[in-house]
A and B are shown apart, each in its own frame.
Chain A
Amino acid sequence: MPAFLFTCLASALGALVVGAVLKRRGRGLRGGLALGAVAGLLGSLATMIPLQYCVLDPENHMFFELSVLGQTITVNAVALIGFLLVIVVAWAFVLAIDRLRHHWLARGATVWKADTAPGTFIGYDFSPWIFLAPTLVGLAVFTYYPAAQNFFLGTQLARRGVANTAFNCLDNFASLITSRLQDAHYYILSDGFIWHAENARYLAVFGNSVFFSVFIVLVANVLGLAIALLASQKIRGASVYRTLIIWPYAISGVVVGIVFAILLGGGGSGFLNQFLQLFGAEPAPFLSDAWWARASVVAAAAWNKLGFNVLIYIAALQAVPMELMEAASIDGANAWKRFLNVTIPMISPYIFFVVFLNLNYSFFDLYAVIDNLTEGGPVNATTNLVVDIIRVGVESRDIGKAAAQSIVLFMVVVGLTYMQFRVMGRRVTYGAD
């Protein structure tokens, strides 16, 4: 009975929200209502049937406390995440149905183009499937199946090395935001949402990932562009300089981590500290202080990837036509103005490309660097999302919770990809390709 009520409520709410949104965008109210109702219905069914409506069971709860303007409210994290999940899935249904409808309408207008496909081999019906089979099977078994398995394992109590699992609703997700239940305090102020995350471990881990990404992208791109500006000049030995600058890109994260460990080593024993002490400076706790350690990871990772950025930016800068620079120069633009108003717009597609590659790298590929430089420490200060998945899933053997974290990471991928399509789709190229 509560299940039926919940489904009706979700459908009604969907109709209300989507109807209102589409009306504001100047589309019909009736269509919006219908779309929202269907999406709310499908969204709630698609989430709640696999979860067996466990979210509605009052026995499934993990509370955390929320302070709103001095009042303390207790929130059920399981229910909260369940409802958020329904909203996300329903929203995905809205987009998908809208897309399909669009497609369907457009299909009537345009003549379906016959695929003439010149140059295809005739009379081989079977061979393309043989050619494709290994790739398709490989992707299905080793990419898609584990990805789907994540969603199953995320709702299970599963231990590493044990085949049996048991359903435990959304506890794996809820425990991400309520770990150390009593300590996680949230404060909602009138002007926004501020949390005190010292004790909410997972939020801190998430914050580390964001911190690394922002600063690695910033450092590697500013330095990379600066070096590329120098190295792309028409000077003697330009290709030698380029080679001498870009080669660290091929070094593995492990070697980067180990080498930076002896460069930055703590206790005054690392190279940099000894070097500083020659000038009478105090040794800095590069790897033992939380912020210094984070900065060290950023420095090591940015150094590693700088060569790649330089390589791409040199290629980009050399594609900027000389005539444009000459014209700007004749118009009286100085070097800085030329850089800002000619160079940057001309190479903007390359900047987006490099920034997104660096973002992907710093979100997903930092494990080797961190594991060999700081081992995630001091006290989780440099633990990012991927390092934490390995800690939880492999070292603490909690596969269920690690799978839940993997799904959160997957949401980040989806977000980044969506951003990439939006930005790349709208980018201004000025024909610099």
Chain B
Amino acid sequence: MTALSRRRAVDHPPLLRIVRDQLSANRWYIHILLWIAVIFMGFPLFYAALVSTQNNAQMFRLQMIPGNSFSFNLQTVLDRNIARLMFNTFAVATMVTLGKVVLSIFSGMALVYFRFPGKSLVFGFILAALMVPGEVTIIALFRLVALELGWGNTWTALVVPAVASPTGVFLFRQHFASITPELSEAAQLDGAGPLQFLLRVLLPLSRNTVTALVVIMFIGAWNSYLWPLLIVTNPDLQVIQVGLSTLDDGVEIGRTWGPIMLGAVIASIPPIAIFVLMQKQFLQGFALTRHK
């Protein structure tokens, strides 16, 4: 392969050079089309940010420059306790993500580094749960958590049902299985137990997988809406996605869109930041779940 490319670099046949020029499309219209795509993708949230500085009158006038109501809108969302909502969401999403990662690492480890009867059955039991989307069980889960367990209006109801993650187990099992078994044999010869092996050898080798899972799970937990909407009614415990529509100023007739849009923009910053900064790990996480 290297020999081939080196030869090409030295003497291009003329035809291939023409073809290369044709294929490497550094043309102006590609840039134009890409900018159209960028504007198309960016416009909705850009407009939301614009409205977050306006009052209803300015918005309905289709004013395309920032309005003068930003400080009023900010005051409104602060009065409606957006800080509390954001903190709640952050706390719940962190607990869910942490729980998922820790439990998935332990389960993945059990499935790769131990021998026990019924291992393939256990793995099948976990994998089959991938097939059941939460929406299918949500009515019965609601009945179970609210009525039988009595966890309505608690963070327990938001965190505990979410921490067992078949996706995470699958991800770590695949990752651990791809690590050479000689490492754990060497660790055993050196007298290390499973926990020591996990902390000293496995975790340092799994940084990318952990990051990938954290990104996917945190964005998912941050954006979850239906379950908190059903199970939490106490505004002090509520998360931002459900709380957004309560960010009205409650004075004008109908909805005041400025504060709601400001809330929407604020609520979108953490997941967007994580997603943009961690694109590579995110993609890698999906690649891992896809293969095999």
Contacts and interface: CB of A to CB of B under 8 A. Distances in A.
Contact of B109 (A131, A137, A235, A244): A131
A259 B114 contact: no
Contact of A134 (B42, B141, B164, B272): B164
Given A250-B271, A251-B272, A262-B48, A120 B114 contact: yes
B161 interface: yes
A368 B241 contact: yes
Nearest to B166: A139
Contacts of A246: 41, 275-276, 279
B234 interface: no
B19 A231 contact: no
Interface stretch (A12-20, A214-222, A280-288, A409-417): A409-417
A409 to B, nearest CB: 5
Contacts of A260: 44
B266 to A, nearest CB: 10
Interface residues of A, number: 101
Contacts of B31: 235
Contacts of A244: 38, 41-42
Nearest to B270: A250
A409 B267 CA distance: 31
Contacts of A330: 15-16, 19
B30 A235 contact: yes
B272 A119 contact: no
A236 B31 CA distance: 9
Contacts of A413: 131-133, 136
Contact of B141 (A146, A365, A371): A146
Interface string B109-148: 1110111100000100110010111111111111110110
Q: Which 6 A-B pairs have the closest CB atoms?
A: A119-B181, A138-B164, A252-B223, A146-B140, A250-B275, A128-B114
A124 interface: yes
Contacts of B47: 259, 262-263, 271
Pick from B23, B143, B164, B286 the residue with the most CB of A within 10 Å. B143
B135 A248 contact: no
A248 B45 contact: yes
Contacts of A124: 114, 194
A300 to B, nearest CB: 9
A433 interface: yes
Contacts of B53: none
A135 B104 contact: yes
Contacts of B146: 161
B1 to A, nearest CB: 10
Given A393-B139, A413-B136, 18 more contacts: A119-B185, A135-B103, A135-B169, A142-B137, A160-B143, A230-B33, A231-B34, A233-B25, A247-B41, A248-B42, A248-B45, A251-B268, A255-B264, A262-B51, A262-B261, A263-B47, A269-B60, A368-B241
A145 B142 CA distance: 12
A329 B129 contact: no
B55 to A, nearest CB: 13
Contacts of A389: 135, 138-139
Interface of A: 115, 117-122, 124-125, 127-129, 131-132, 134-139, 141-147, 149-150, 153, 158, 160-161, 163, 227, 230-231, 233-236, 241-256, 258-260, 262-263, 269, 271, 274-275, 278, 303, 306-307, 311-312, 315, 322, 325-326, 329-330, 353, 360, 364-365, 367-368, 371-372, 386, 389-390, 393-394, 399, 402-403, 406, 409-410, 413-414, 417, 433
A150 to B, nearest CB: 5
Nearest to A249: B275
Given A120-B115, A263-B47, A132 B182 contact: no
B276 A315 contact: no
A149 B143 contact: yes
A242 B34 CA distance: 9
Contacts of A271: 47, 62
A131 B164 CA distance: 12
Nearest to A262: B257
10 contacts: A135-B165, A144-B129, A149-B140, A252-B241, A254-B264, A278-B62, A311-B282, A360-B133, A389-B139, A399-B139
B26 A236 contact: yes
A139 B34 CA distance: 44
Contacts of A322: 23
Contacts of A371: 225
B114 A121 contact: yes
A248 B166 CA distance: 26
A402 B272 contact: no
Nearest to A258: B264
A360 B279 CA distance: 22
A150 B25 contact: no
